[in-house]
Structure 1
Amino acid sequence: MLAMIIITLYPFVYVLMSSLSDSRLLLSHTGALFWPQGFTVSAYTLVFQNPNILRGYGNTLFIVVLGTLLNLIFTCMGAYVLSRKGVPWSKYVMLLIVFTMFFSGGMIPSYLLVNNWLHLGNSLLAMIIPGMISTWNLIILRTSFASIPESLVESAKIDGAHDFTILSRVVIPLSLPVMAVMVLFYGVSHWNAWFSAMLYLRERDLYPLQLILREILIQNSTEYMTNQSSAGEIESVGESIKYATIMVATLPILFVYPFMQKYFVKGVMIGSIKG
């Protein structure tokens, strides 16, 4: 276990130490890295001063918050309907939904749908609406709702509660651990999304953080982040700024995992025990 901890933790340590290093010393360093090479926080200073990073943070937070909220609302409503006994054609509807998990139209039909039919091209809503419901998450939530005793639902109906009241005041409160799993699944998915942004977004002002991070790492595009700095400063932080951006983009979602990790096993087991 100690060996596994070291193997999985070292890449994070390497990125952290590199982000605090002088780029000139970092480029000349070989071998393992366990401490900064010429300690400096200039890379972080430039990252937080850069409007692209801050704007990307804002766009990503908007997508994560609004997207996760809409995901939960529609997934809960769909799971509730499919989990109730006596709903006509529920099994056939479920088969059609599961079919979409294995087969899809592909990238080109999806692009035409979003741009030409939904008219969501170059909009942050293109990152949210097309993936409103995840089939896998719907199955997990449906199975959780189905495990709630039917007597509780019947008691609520006797008291005059309608379906929305039953869902919000009976079913969801009894499924909070699974709801936490849904928040984590959807939230992490939105936070890490970059491919759909690359397809649908054309204005840099709309780019999420992950797409900006991709430009920095893959396209080696750091010059726009340091265009107001001196040549010596650019040379000293040119490499470190990539690692600083990785840390800035990773830490927020990394801090969420320890508080939500205990719900993973329960959520996965619910989806695996019952189909």
Structure 2
Amino acid sequence: MKLKSVDKFTTVVIYLLAGIAAIMALYPIYFVVIASISSPDAVENGLVYLWPKYITFEGYEKVFQDARIWMGYRNTIFYTLAGTAISLLVTLPAAFVLSRKDFKARNTIMMMFVFTMFFGGGLIPTYLLIKDLNLYNTIWVMILPFSLNVYNLIIARSFFESSIPESLGEAAKIDGCSDIRFFISIILPLSKAIIAVILLYYAVAQWNEYFKALIYLRDENLQTLQIVLRSILIQNQSFDGSAAEGFAETQNLFDLIKYAVIVVSTIPIIMVYPFVQKYFTKGVMIGAVKG
């Protein structure tokens, strides 16, 4: 009886700590959402903490009135879909090949990949290389040159090594299955968990991409959502503060726009999580425990 009581107490403590952690993680997002539709004065005075006060959608109106926002959404959605697809197309086959023990050069090649995680050419050589490849200021600079992430490659490789038995490949060879068909018809269907995890990692990175667009894109029609939102923020922040009566009003509007911009840029990608959650929980632990 005492043991059961201890187990129940432990369970209650674990759930309590997990609940506190969840609140600490989710409340900032919730606060930004309610602050984006509340009066800036109420937010500044600390009246907004659980529910919105004096609801207004002026911040969203200002953001969505800018035609650039729709262009930014269009470009970012394209970069995210195309970039994620190409990244998966590159990462998964490479990880599978490097996981094969009969591939003698796999350790040497893997060391070359890992080397790039610690040492890089730097911004200027990369910039010059992008220009020499005629990728500068094109849609392809957001998709092709940085399509492989070594960290994701290591995760996928660990999955294939620990979760795909060698006997499966041997049986496929006996049945006359080629390596390509074995990978497409057998490996990929068995790897839904890790594919979902890597897809999510690549999609989030592509959606939040800011630095590459800032450095390699000059055409406004090619800019990402993050760059467009930055421009909107800068544009609305640069007000004339000489008139004291207009200063506070403009500052309040800018505060509304800041919260609206955060919601506009984060909510769409957050909505992707429920669709991959059942695979994410399993796949994110790949390589942590073997056996």
TM-score by length of 2: 0.81
Q: Report the Cα distance in structure 1 between the residues aligned to 2:161 and 2:27, rounded to whole angstroms.
A: 43
1:192 aligns with 2:208: yes
Q: 1:22·1:237 contact (CA, 8 Å) conserved in 2?
A: no
Distance across 2 between alignment mates of 1:272 and 1:32: 45
Matched, 1:17 2:31: no
Q: How many residues align?
A: 261
User: Which residue of 98, 108, 111 maps to 2:114?
Assistant: 98
Gaps spanning 5+ residues in structure 1: where?
A: 225-230
**Per-residue deviation, 1:32:** 5.1
Matching of residues 13-162 of structure 1 within 5 Å:
13-23=30-40, 25=41, 29-31=44-46, 33-34=48-49, 35-116=51-132, 118-147=133-162, 148-162=164-178
Q: State the distance in 1 between where 2:117 and 2:47 align.
A: 42
Check whether the contact 2:37–2:52 (CA below 8 A) recurs between aligned residues. yes
Deviations 1:225-245 (A, max 9, x none): xxxxxx9xx857443122112
Deviation at 1:77, TM superposition (A): 1.3
The one-letter amino acid of 1:140's match is I
Distance 2:46 2:114 in 1: 48
Aligned residues of 1:18 and 1:240 also touching (Cα < 8 A): yes
Equivalent position amino acid for 1:153 in 2: G
Give 1:262 shift: 4.9
SS in 1 for 2:108: helix
Question: Residues of 2 paired with 1:194 and 1:43: CA distance?
Answer: 22
- Are the aligned partners of 2:38 and 2:48 in contact in 1 as well (CA < 8 Å)? no
Contact 2:38–2:54 (Cα < 8 Å) also in 1: yes
Distance 2:123 2:213 in 1: 13
Offset from partner CA, 1:185-219 (integer Å, 9 cap, x none): 111110111011100011221111112223344xx
Q: CA–CA distance in 2 between the matches of 1:203 and 1:223?
A: 23
1:208 aligned to 2:224? yes
1:7 aligns with 2:16: no
| Structure possessing the higher radius of gyration over alpha carbons | 2
TM-score by length of 1: 0.85
1:102-159 superposed Cα distances (whole Å, 9 cap, x missing partner) = 111111111111122x211111211121211111111111121223112221222222
Q: Do the aligned residues in 1 keep the contact of 2:194 with 2:284 (CA within 8 Å)?
A: no
1:153–1:170 contact (8 Å) kept in structure 2 = no
Residue 258 of structure 2 aligns with an amino acid whose one-letter code is: K
SS in 2 for 1:67: helix
Moved over 6 A (4+): none
One-letter amino acid of the counterpart of residue 236, structure 2: T
Q: CA deviation at 1:90?
A: 1.5
Q: Distance in 2 between matches of 1:181 and 1:80?
A: 16
- 1:222 alignment partner, SS class: helix
In the alignment, which residue of structure 1 is the partner of 2:272? 256
Aligned to 1:228: none
